[in-house]
A = this chain, B = another copy of it.
């Protein structure tokens, strides 16, 4: 059940282009720890998730980002976490410390998305991410990707998809050159 749910969400993430190659991961909280994607497994073919206890050594076959997940579970009420690498969110992350969606869904679900940074794999970054997730369901790590939390994997996936949609709209909107649009003459025929 847990594994098939993970595969169902992983397939959605891969299909929407939110994570390519074998990147991205996801986990679900359990008593005394959490279950996370196996290291190097594909998000859309995760196989059996690996148990990571809340304390003590991380199993070697658990995702490389287990330390971040552990910190998030310790500091928030998250029941599930999705980490993805969405292109537009990453591209915008280089330029701001907070992203303000301008589309309706973004404004509704994540009106202010913090962008944080830090050396990957460090406990420092894990703490920064976990801290930011106490006041928002999603955070972007500059040049890296998103961490989103929810009461279920579905919730964490939807918020991830929403942030990328919001960033894509912000990006495309900033590119529009309205003066480059064709117009129609008074008779309604298009002309340049």
Residues in B neighbouring A172, C-beta threshold 8 A = 87-88, 90-91, 171
B120 touches A104 (CB 8 A): yes
Cα distance A143–B107 when bound, in Å?
10
A21 touches B104 (CB 8 A): no
* Interface membership of A190, Cβ < 8 A: yes
A87 touches B180 (CB 8 A): no
A21 touches B162 (CB 8 A): yes
A157 touches B190 (CB 8 A): no
A161 touches B91 (CB 8 A): no
Within 8 A of B (CB), among A21-46: 21-23, 42
Cα distance A161–B24 when bound, in Å?
13
* Interface membership of A69, Cβ < 8 A: no
A21 touches B161 (CB 8 A): yes
Residues in B neighbouring A190, C-beta threshold 8 A = 100, 102, 107
Q: Number of contacting residues on A, CB 8 A?
A: 55
The distance from the CB of A127 to the nearest CB of chain B, in whole angstroms, is 18
* Interface membership of A92, Cβ < 8 A: yes
Which listed segment binds B: A53-61, A71-79, A181-189? A181-189
* Interface membership of A70, Cβ < 8 A: no
Residues in B neighbouring A177, C-beta threshold 8 A = 174-175
Most chain B beta-carbon neighbours within 10 Å: one of A95, A154, A174, A188: A174
* Interface membership of A1, Cβ < 8 A: no
Contacts beyond the supplied A91-B169, A174-B180: 16 A-B pairs with Cβ under 8 Å: A16-B20, A20-B164, A22-B154, A85-B165, A87-B169, A88-B172, A95-B176, A100-B181, A100-B182, A100-B183, A103-B143, A104-B141, A104-B143, A104-B145, A107-B190, A143-B169
